[in-house]
Amino acid sequence: MTEMLLAVQQPFDFQECLVFLSRSKQEVLHVTTPDTVRKLMRIGERLILVELQGEQGHIRVVFPVDDVSEMEMESIERGVRDWLDLDRDLTPFEAMGAEDELLAPLIEAHRGLRMIGFPDLFEALTWAIIGQQITLSFAYTIKRRFVERYGEQRVVEGRTYWTFPRAERIASLEPEALRELQFSRRKAEYIIDIAQEITGETLSKSALQSQSSTDIRQRLLAIRGVGEWTADYVLMKCFQDASAFPIADVGLHQAIQHQLGTAKKPTIEEVRRYGESWQGWEGYATFYLWRSLYGNV
């Protein structure tokens, strides 16, 4: 069995990350146990099953059934580090949050949680668009249908593991194909358009990464179907922008209300005022507030 050990910027808590990854029983792109998470990763043309285990401030990466080359290991390490935001120094966030009435108890309770994201731009945009104006539960249902129809699979020890559909596979579809999965017509059109842009190389994460957050946001907003919430969400979860702030997010408002114990949700202006004290860490503040909504799973 091949494996490698990844050093992680402290503070880091693998169990806290597992709680987040375990929050929906409908998740189809990774499989958790109380101590591990398994994910099928595409490296070149290979589908490699990866298992992550926590180990005293490190992550042990195990390949249960594959022989993996050094080059593949390097790609997998980059993918894992991006997925779990492992290279982030959270010390400044913790220092800021310790003085904040909303964040202080969350940071104390969930110290070491990372802003877990979507390294793949097509997956991040598709998931954000799927989730627009529907319940989280229904969004997961649609994602599962989409992945099981158009993703790639591998069966290991009787369990099926999936990868997110490739943009190339979706670009050639007609909207009716996604309508069968209960996508709205508009969302079907948006996602196919995005797949075509990515396939046509007029939209790419690598090209955007060299730009400022403001410029990335403007490019995302130029995509049909991407509004301010979606752009900010993708900045957070795909580009690892710790300052991205999805200020209109319903879950964020619920979490603030929950933390304050008030009868009414905050207004946008009230959320904006809270965000003034989170400058540079708005994305992490949002992520920790979301964490307060799903208990210990």
| Per-domain boundaries in the chain | 2-88, 90-109+242-297, 121-237
58-63: strand order across its sheet: 2-7, 58-63, 46-55, 36-43, 31-32
Local structure of residue 222 (DSSP, 8 states): T
pLDDT at site 296: 61
Peptide bond between residue 11 and the one before it cis (omega within 30 degrees of 0): yes
* 149: CB partners within 8 A, 6+ apart: 165, 181
- DSSP assignment of 115-181: ----SSHHHHHHHHHHTTTS-HHHHHHHHHHHHHHHS-EEEETTEEEE-PPPHHHHHT--HHHHHTT
Domain 2-88 of CATH type 3.30.310.20: yes
Q: Which of 189, 181, 176 minimizes the C-alpha distance to 223?
A: 189
Catalytic residue among 120, 232, 241, 249: 249
pLDDT at site 57: 83
Give the global pTM: 0.95
Q: 121-237 in CATH: which number?
A: 1.10.340.30
Please list the pLDDT of the chain residue by residue as tens digits (297 residues). Answer: 689 999 999 999 999 999 999 999 999 999 999 999 999 999 999 999 999 999 988 999 999 999 999 999 999 999 999 999 999 999 999 999 999 999 999 999 999 999 999 999 999 999 999 999 999 999 999 999 999 999 999 999 999 999 999 999 999 999 999 999 999 999 999 999 999 999 999 999 999 999 999 999 999 999 999 999 999 999 999 999 999 999 999 999 999 999 999 999 999 999 999 999 999 999 999 999 999 998 764
pLDDT at site 156: 96
pLDDT at site 294: 82
Q: Which of 286, 297, 295 minimizes the C-alpha distance to 256?
A: 286
pLDDT at site 1: 64
pLDDT at site 2: 82
Architecture field, domain 90-109+242-297: Orthogonal Bundle (1.10)
**249 assigned to active site:** yes
* Separation CA 238–CA 120 (nearest Å): 7
Local structure of residue 37 (DSSP, 8 states): E
